[in-house]
Amino acid sequence: MEPQTTEQLRARLHEIFNLEPRPEQVEAIATLVIRQKDLILIARTGWGKSMIFQAVPALRKGVCLMLMPLNLF
């Protein structure tokens, strides 16, 4: 069952990843899973974007397409 509130979502993320998600991560995932809205996320290295990419398909039992531009200088 998908979480219906951000508190349920936070608890489920803690259960899946065995770590406490940042409030901003919970908000981003809530946008995708609870509100079912599109999201463009721009975040710095080390912020925890991979949790978001992994959480959505884990919670919704689906597939997530991630586009990640890389600068190779």
- Per residue in 37-63, pLDDT tens? 999 988 888 898 889 888 988 898 877
The pLDDT value given to residue 22: 94
Paired tokens of 60: 């919704």
Residue 33 CB-half CA count within 13 A: 31
Domain assignment present for 72 = no
Range of the domain at 27: 6-60
Q: Is the pLDDT of residue 13 over 90?
A: yes
What average pLDDT does the segment 28-42 reach?
Answer: 92
CA 47 to chain centre: 12
Check residue 36 and report its DSSP letter: -
At CA 64, angle to CA 61 and CA 69, rounded to 5? 165
Domain assignment present for 21 = yes
Whole-model pTM: value is: 0.80
Domain assignment present for 70 = no
Domain assignment present for 54 = yes
Q: Is the pLDDT of residue 12 over 90?
A: yes
Domain assignment present for 51 = yes
φ, ψ for residue 29, nearest 5 deg: -65, -35
Domain count of the chain?
A: 1
